[in-house]
Amino acid sequence: MTTISRSSRLLIAALALALGAAACTGHTGPAHDEPDAGSAPLPDGSAPPSASACAADGTGADIVACGFGPALGLVGASGRAVYALSDAGTYFRVDVDTGTSRLFHAGAPSSALTTGLLGTVLADDRIYFSTLVDQGRFASYGVVSIPTTAPTTGDPRIVTLGDQTEPTGTVIADATRIYMESTVFEPEGGAYVGPVVATGLGGSALTPITPDSGRPVAVVDDLLYYRHDSELARVGLDGGGRTVLAAAVAENAARDRAIDASGVYTTLASGPYAITRISPTGGTTLVVEAARGDAEVPIGPPHDLRLAGGALYYLQDLSTDYAQLVRVRLTSAGPGVPETLFGGPGLAPPVFADGVMYLAYTRGGYDAPIEGVIARFPAGPAS
C-alpha cells in the first residue's frame, strides 16, 4: 500500500495553492482563457470569439465556440448551454445563443485534464469539483461548487471539507447527493485510498457508502456502482448488499460512464475490445466487438463509454493525440455494428442534452493557429 505523509501532503498543498493562484478564489476580470504555447492567442481582456466568428473547418461540424487553448474537455450540457474545463483549470459556460462566459478559474484542479474532468460534475444548476481548500494554517481536500448561470465573483461555495477522510478524485451525482472517491490520512502519517463517501448537494458531513475502497461510477435505482481495484461492484445507498459484478474490468474502462437500468456497459480484462453489458445480477451480454486496426494502423481499445438516445458511444485512440468517436445503436437482435462518426486531435468524450451531442477537439497547426473548439451535432454526426 502506497502511503503519503501528511506533512508532505500539506507542503504539496501549499505549493499548489501558491503556484496555482487561488484554488478557491474567484476572478472578477474579463472572460478569457490562458492559451498554451502555440495556441491561438486571445487578446487580453477578451472572451473567446462568438460562434459567428468561428471559421468552418471542413469536418461538417457546427462550431459553437472556438479560440480556447488546445486541451479542452466538456463537463456537461443543459438546455442551450454547454460547460467546459480547460487544462489551465478554467470553467466556461458556452451559451449557444449569446456566446461564451468564463465562470471561474480554479487553478489547475489536476495535472491532467482527464483527471480534472473525473473530479467535476454538473448537478442542480451548479458545477461541483474536488480541490484543495486553503484553511489558513493548512489546506485540505474538499468539494466546492459554482453556479452555472453567471461568473463567480467571490469564493465558490464550500460543499464539504475533509478531516481525516478527505474527498479526492472522481465525483458523481444523483438528484440529491454527490459521491466521491476518498483518501484517508492517518494521524501518525501515511495515507491510503478510502471508501466512496457521499454528501448532500447543499452540503453535509461525509458519509461512507462502500465497505471498501472505491471509485464511484454511477447511481441507478438506489444502487451505487463502483470500481474497487479491478472489480466492478454495486452496493445499496445504505452501504449494504455488496455484490461483485465483474472480477476484472479492463484498465481502459476506468472512465466509462455508460449505465442504465439494464446494466453497466464496459470492457473486461479478458477482452478489452469486447464491450459487454453487465446486468445488476452479474449476467453478461456482448454489445459490440470494437475495431482493432492492423499492424500498420493499430487502434486502441474503447474507452470513455457513454449512453444517449438508445445508442452507445465510445472513443478509440489512433495515436497519442488523435481519437475517433464511435457509435453503436443498441438493439435486442445481438451485437451491434460500430459506426465511426468523427475523428480529431484532442477529442474529448461527448456530452448530451435535449437530443444534441457536443464535442470538444483541437484544430489548426498548418495554416491556422492551434485552438480548442466546441462543436454540436443536432442529431448525432452521420445519423
Per-residue pLDDT tens digits for 235-246: 999 999 999 999
Residue 321: Cβ within 10 Å count: 13
Task: Kindly state whether residues 240 and 316 are assigned to the same domain.
Answer: no
Confidence of residue 108 (pLDDT cuts 50, 70, 90): low
Task: Give the Cα separation of 144 and 159 in Å (integer).
Answer: 5
Task: Give the Cα separation of 383 and 379 in Å (integer).
Answer: 7
Q: Is the pLDDT of residue 41 over 80?
A: no
Task: Kindly state whether residues 222 and 266 are assigned to the same domain.
Answer: no
Per-residue pLDDT tens digits for 113-166: 777 888 899 998 999 999 888 877 778 889 999 999 888 887 889 999 888 899
Task: Kindly state whether residues 2 and 140 are assigned to the same domain.
Answer: yes
Q: Quote the mean pLDDT of the chain.
A: 82
Number of H helices, E strands in the chain: 2, 29
The gap between the terminal CA atoms of the chain, to the nearest Å, is 48
Instruction: Give how many domains the chain has, as a whole number.
Output: 2
Task: Kindly state whether residues 126 and 223 are assigned to the same domain.
Answer: yes
Q: Which one-letter amino acid corresponds to residue 370?
A: I
Residue 328 in any domain: the answer is yes
Cα dihedral across residues 14, 16, 19, 23: positive or negative: negative
Distances (CA, A) of 122 to 14, 117, 294, 379: 28, 11, 39, 22
Q: Residue 167: which domain range?
A: 1-30+119-246
Give the SS3 label for residue 289.
strand
Task: Kindly state whether residues 253 and 334 are assigned to the same domain.
Answer: yes
pTM for this entry:
0.84
Chain CA centroid to CA 56, Å:
27
Residue 178 in any domain: the answer is yes
Please give the grid coordinates belonging to residue 327.
Answer: 457509435
Task: Give the Cα separation of 267 and 95 in Å (integer).
Answer: 35
Strand partners for 180: 171, 197
